[in-house]
Structure 1
Amino acid sequence: MDLTKYLAIYAALLSTAVFAWNVSRARPKIRVKLIFAVEQVEGEYVHGVSVAVQNPSPHTVHLTNISLLYPWRRPTTKDYLEHIFRFRRWPSRIGWVHTSLSNYDIEDGCPVALELGTSHSVLVPEDKLEELLEDATKRRLKAVVQDALWRNKYSPTFEYPIIPKQSDDAEPASTAEIEQKDSAPEDAA
């Protein structure tokens, strides 16, 4: 092969790579994450889960809605097969219930326009999460963000733990006290 054929192959590969890069940058991208958070609300510190929406793309993204999902029932094999045949796609959220933040008096700040490299977050307080998870079969959450063109972006599943309640006058136990209670025999009364 002579030099012109090598140059033609190089040009074809380079133009294909540039085309793929341009296509990947042409669509707006949104990242949705659920994280533990503490925020100061009206002078008090409130803890819960924050829905963080990030825009790493070079385009402005217009958000219209932020919702939460929780598992309501355990789907059967029949449910999966019906979903595959009806919608012709793999079912990933069968048995999950979508609920709006406004159902729990939480302001989501939408509609909002996210510029390049900006983010938006909404705190869901712990008491609202407990109210939301009363009907759930498992203590799992997902968040979904919808843009102005009705495209949905889901967060990964977030495992929300059961946080034990302490009375107001009880002092937190030290590590040594906890280890001592764990190592004590149960029928030593």
Structure 2
Amino acid sequence: MFNNKIDFPQTNVDYAKLIESFRAHDKSNAGILNRAQYKKLLKDMKLYRAEDFATITYNGVKDPSKPGITFDMARIICEASAPNQSKKSKLNSLIYFRGVDDDQDGKINSDQFTKIAALVDKQLSKSEIANIFNSCMPDEDQKVSYSNVARKLFGLLVWGEEDPYSMKLSNYSPVSQACLLI
């Protein structure tokens, strides 16, 4: 016999609260939140950790062609940041890296790396962060690639050089195949 039960991964995200909060902060009913509205959403979801977290995650998922972030992107951040999710996930590596890579060249400098490292592990000292950065093999401009950051800071298995901008974030979300109607 067929088993009709579908098992969805546990995410500890209160989707009803997420939908309700997103709608409450989307004053123009455009389905998009600006930076200030997004910060309020994070606070409602009890995910607001620091200004850097809000800024980096917002920049990491924002589509440059839109004036803010969509519900789907807010959902992905909430799933990636849920208490039971590892901070060292592929999804977080992509969001954080994109969030600090201002020129979108797939490489970040030491200051940008330090911001990511502080989000991944608050216990890291400045010297530990510097050692990890140096293990990422900085180029002549003292920049490191996404692939090396994913390997060394996030402990991910990465083959060759990956382009963080060609990867679709929803593919790495714990419930990427689920559809939430708002």
Q: TM-score range by the shorter chain?
A: under 0.3
* TM-score, structure 1 as length reference: 0.23
Greater RCO (Cα-Cα under 8 Å, separation 6 or more)? 1
Q: Which has the higher helix share?
A: 2
Give me the TM-score of the superposition, normalised by structure 2: 0.23
Structure exhibiting the larger radius of gyration computed from Cα positions: 1
